[in-house]
């Protein structure tokens, strides 16, 4: 009969229990969208107290309309960040796509629906370019998209000759800017299109083999390859999906600005990354929900609108966004250290 080893101390006889902080850590690890949801609710309540105009239906509907473009871009950025990548060119890719569809329609008389399809194809092409450079030449996503950011910016400025192109009010491409009235609240078709984008990509990530492979590739690429996942194909598909969202965001942008502006996307690259990070998607890949990016985009817009209505200097709005990003990354690092 073998001897049984006695416990080294009385503590080993007592089941280990998590501290309150560890329980919160586990909760946030299981629910990546919970922390941005809490931040959003708190921010709305605080700004509702600070400014009496903030919670008015008209103010809230305008807030949602203002974040529609960033919200749409954040869908594509989320897909890429889930693979442990990043896209610094996504905003200028959107501008280039919008210029293609608008100039084809306005300058060359191409019917609106056809111009839209060609513009979306241009957006997909930008994603393919990024994806091929990352997967076939094995260049880091940061370097690739930093380079294509400059390329897409130059091509957009050259193509538009630095000029803004305005569309007539009856143009099909401005449909996303039309407003649906529900009482005193107005919501544009662009906002609804953005929500459809979230629903479609969210469903694909949650319920398809492609989504599971995407998460696995971002979490541990080597392990995913050993499991038989064709990781390069998955990575390329992520950039292609991002290209589709670029085309849709370009259409929403056309409705918002009434045409196409080659200088409109200089801040959208970082704004989309900010929304994704604040929304709880890990920059290290493999963890996050696309709905979190919607919450992140709303948080950024809530802070900007709330501070503006409170009469705060615009420079403090930028400061608040920077602080939010740093806090979001710090929380992500803490959550990733979760222990069983």
Q: Does residue 123 carry a pLDDT above 50? A: yes
Rounded to whole angstroms, the Cα distance separating 314 from 194 reads 27
Report the range of poorest mean pLDDT among 14-18, 95-99, 285-289: 14-18
Q: Which two tokens stand for residue 130?
A: 């990024």
Phi–psi pair at 162, nearest 5 degrees: 70, 10
Q: Where are the alpha helices (DSSP H) in the chain?
A: 20-30, 34-50, 57-66, 68-81, 90-106, 112-135, 141-160, 189-207, 209-219, 221-226, 231-257, 268-278, 290-309, 314-336
93 membership: H or E segment, kind and range = helix 90-106
At 34 the pLDDT is 81
- Give the max Cα distance, the chain: 92
More confident residue, 316 or 112: 112
3 has a pLDDT exceeding 60: no
- The Cα 63–Cα 38 span in angstroms is 18
Residue from 190, 237, 219 nearest 32 by CA: 219
28-32, 160-164, 251-255, 330-334: range with lowest mean pLDDT: 28-32
Does the structure show a pLDDT above 80 at 8?
no
DSSP E strand stretches across the chain: 165-166, 179-182, 185-188, 259-260
pLDDT number for residue 252? 96
Q: Select from 94, 77, 90 the least CA-distant residue to 247.
A: 94
pLDDT in tens, 184-224: 778 899 999 999 999 999 999 999 999 999 999 999 999 99
Tokens representing residue 66 in the block = 């203002």
> Cα angle at 283 between 80 and 216, to 5 degrees?
60
Whether the per-residue pLDDT at 17 is higher than 50: the answer is yes
What pLDDT score was predicted for residue 245?
97
DSSP string, 275-340: HHHHTT--TTSS---HHHHHHHHHHHHHHHHHHHHTT--HHHHHHHHHHHHHHHHHHHHHHHT---
pLDDT of residue 7: 52
User: In angstroms, rounded to a whole number, what is the distance separating the alpha carbons of residues 74 and 81?
Assistant: 10
- Is the pTM higher than 0.85? The answer reads yes
pLDDT-derived band of residue 92, with 50, 70 and 90 as boundaries? very high
What pLDDT digit, counting tens, does each position of 136-186 carry?
999 999 999 999 999 999 999 999 988 999 999 889 999 999 998 877 778
- Give the CB-side neighbour count of residue 146, counting CA atoms within 13 A: 6
Cβ-proximal residues to 138 (8 Å cutoff; 6+ apart), any chain: none
Q: What is the mean pLDDT of the chain?
A: 88
């Amino acid at each position: 009969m073998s001897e049984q080893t006695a416990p080294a101390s009385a503590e080993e006889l007592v089941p280990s229990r998590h501290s309150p902080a560890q329980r919160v850590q586990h909760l946030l690890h299981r629910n990546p969208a919970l922390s941005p949801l809490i931040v959003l609710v708190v921010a709305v309540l605080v700004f509702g107290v600070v400014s009496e105009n903030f919670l008015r239906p008209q103010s809230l509907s305008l807030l949602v309309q203002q974040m529609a473009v960033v919200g749409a871009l954040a869908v594509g950025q989320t897909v890429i960040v889930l693979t442990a990548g990043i896209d610094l060119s996504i905003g200028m890719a959107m501008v280039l796509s919008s210029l293609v569809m608008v100039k084809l329609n306005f300058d060359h008389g191409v019917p609106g629906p056809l111009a839209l399809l060609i513009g979306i194809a241009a957006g997909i092409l930008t994603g393919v370019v990024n994806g091929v450079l990352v997967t076939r030449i094995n260049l880091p996503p940061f370097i690739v998209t930093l380079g294509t950011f400059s390329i897409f910016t130059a091509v957009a400025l050259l193509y538009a000759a630095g000029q803004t192109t305005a569309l007539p009010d009856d143009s099909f491409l401005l449909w996303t800017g039309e407003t649906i009235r529900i009482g005193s609240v107005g919501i544009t078709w662009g906002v609804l299109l953005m929500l459809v984008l979230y629903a479609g990509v969210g469903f694909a990530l949650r319920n398809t083999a492609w989504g599971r492979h995407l998460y696995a590739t971002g979490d541990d690429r080597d392990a995913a390859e050993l499991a038989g996942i064709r990781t390069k194909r998955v990575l390329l598909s992520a950039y292609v999906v991002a290209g589709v969202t670029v085309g849709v965001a370009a259409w929403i942008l056309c409705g918002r600005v009434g045409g196409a502006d080659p200088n409109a996307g200089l801040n959208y690259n970082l704004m989309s990354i900010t929304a994704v990070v604040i929304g709880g998607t890990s920059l290290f890949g493999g963890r996050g929900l696309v709905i979190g990016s919607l919450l992140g985009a709303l948080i950024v817009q809530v802070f900007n609108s709330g501070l503006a209505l409170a009469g705060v200097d615009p420079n403090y709005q930028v400061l608040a966004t920077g602080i939010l990003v740093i806090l979001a990354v710090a929380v992500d690092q803490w959550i990733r250290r979760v222990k069983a």
